[in-house]
Amino acid sequence: MNSASREPHGRWNTFNRQGSRVTGNSVKLSLLLPAGIIGTNCSEKLEMSDLSALTAALLEFRDARDWRQFHTLRNLITSLNLEAAELLELTQWKNDVEIEALASDPQGAEALRDECADILLYLLLIADTAGIDLVEAARAKLEKNAVKYPVEKAYGSRAKYTELA
């Protein structure tokens, strides 16, 4: 069984079936899908090792339902934002302490997981439709952000890059 845990500062660690930490340069998502959900006869759970495999499973799920016809880029972008609103809804009328407690409450944690997953799934569909390599795009954007927010100027500051001294 794979598992993931969260370190302080929001970094995810993923562990393989032997309990070893998954390392490497590429983004690794170890996700389990129930057998049969993507049309496999395999009796074991399927292990998704990267975004490509997850996208393939998602496209198979979509195409088995003939939903491609609804997945225009505009509809997918709208849907991602609706899912982001569902994530935001989990914070409605709560104070900061109550929001922080969501992650340690079983029901709250499940709701957080579900909405984050919905957002990721739509993001994968957008990337597939628009021909975006998400890992490469994220790396490139991180590099742009590093230029916009040099450590010596941005350290400990919440100022926007246009306002950094």
Binding-site residue total for Mg ion (CB under 5 A)?
A: 3
Crossing angle for the helix pair 51-64 and 106-130, to the nearest 10 degrees: 90
The set of residues, in sequence order, having a beta carbon less than 8 Å from that of 7 and lying 6+ positions away, is 13
CB 115 → Mg ion: shortest distance, Å? 5
- Residue 46 · residue 40 · CB < 8 Å: yes
CB 114 → Mg ion: shortest distance, Å? 6
Q: Is 127 exposed, middle or buried (0-12, 13-18, 19+ CB in 10 A)?
A: middle
Judged by CB under 5 A, does residue 60 bind Mg ion? no
CB 90 → Mg ion: shortest distance, Å? 10
CB 51 → Mg ion: shortest distance, Å? 20
Binding flags for Mg ion, 62-91, as an x/- string (CB under 5 A): ---------------------x--x-----
User: Taking the mean position of all CA atoms in its chain, how far away is CA 46?
Assistant: 18
Judged by CB under 5 A, does residue 118 bind Mg ion? yes
Q: Quote the CA–CA distance of 8 and 13 in Å, as a whole number.
A: 11
CB 87 → Mg ion: shortest distance, Å? 8
Give the nearer residue to Mg ion in terms of CB position, either 60 or 86: 86
Give the nearer residue to Mg ion in terms of CB position, either 59 or 87: 87
Q: Which stretch binds Mg ion (CB under 5 A): 1-9, 26-34, 112-120, 125-133?
A: 112-120
Per CB under 5 A, residues contacting Mg ion are: 83, 86, 118
